[in-house]
């Protein structure tokens, strides 16, 4: 049985802030963040748009990518988005 794909996503949030996460459904997760039912961070800084998303074969691979991205500064994340979209 094939595992479900997972996605890494980066959101542009209020205050010019970025949020990085993983999910199986980016649009549904964005809607959850926008409605205040997502992460604590996005309750304080509501999301404005999806800047980036990438598909991974499983949760483990998406989690590793998320960990790597979260180690970057905001400037580095923006550069990553610009060079990978």
For residue 1, pLDDT over 70 is answered with no
> Tens of pLDDT along 3-34?
799 999 999 999 999 999 999 999 999 999 99
Residue 78 belongs to a domain: yes
Q: How far is CA 61 from the centre of its chain?
A: 14
Domains of the chain: total: 1
Q: Is the pTM of this model over 0.85?
A: yes
Residue 43 belongs to a domain: yes
Could you list the residue range(s) of the whole structural domain that residue 65 is in? 6-83
Residue 1 belongs to a domain: no
> Dihedral, CA atoms, 70, 76, 81, 82, nearest 10 degrees?
180
Strand ranges inside 1-85, DSSP E: 6-13, 17-23, 47-56
CATH assignment of the domain containing 26? 3.40.1440.10
Residue 57 belongs to a domain: yes
Residue 62 belongs to a domain: yes
> Tens of pLDDT along 29-65?
999 999 998 889 999 999 999 999 999 999 999 999 9
């Amino acid at each position: 049985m094939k595992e479900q794909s997972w996605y890494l996503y980066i959101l542009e949030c209020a205050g010019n802030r970025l949020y990085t996460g993983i999910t199986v459904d980016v649009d549904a997760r964005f809607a959850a963040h926008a409605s205040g039912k997502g992460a604590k961070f996005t309750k304080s800084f509501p999301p404005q748009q999806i800047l980036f998303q990438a598909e991974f074969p499983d949760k483990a691979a998406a989690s590793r990518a998320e960990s790597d991205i979260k180690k970057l500064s905001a400037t580095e994340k923006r550069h990553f988005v610009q060079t990978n979209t």
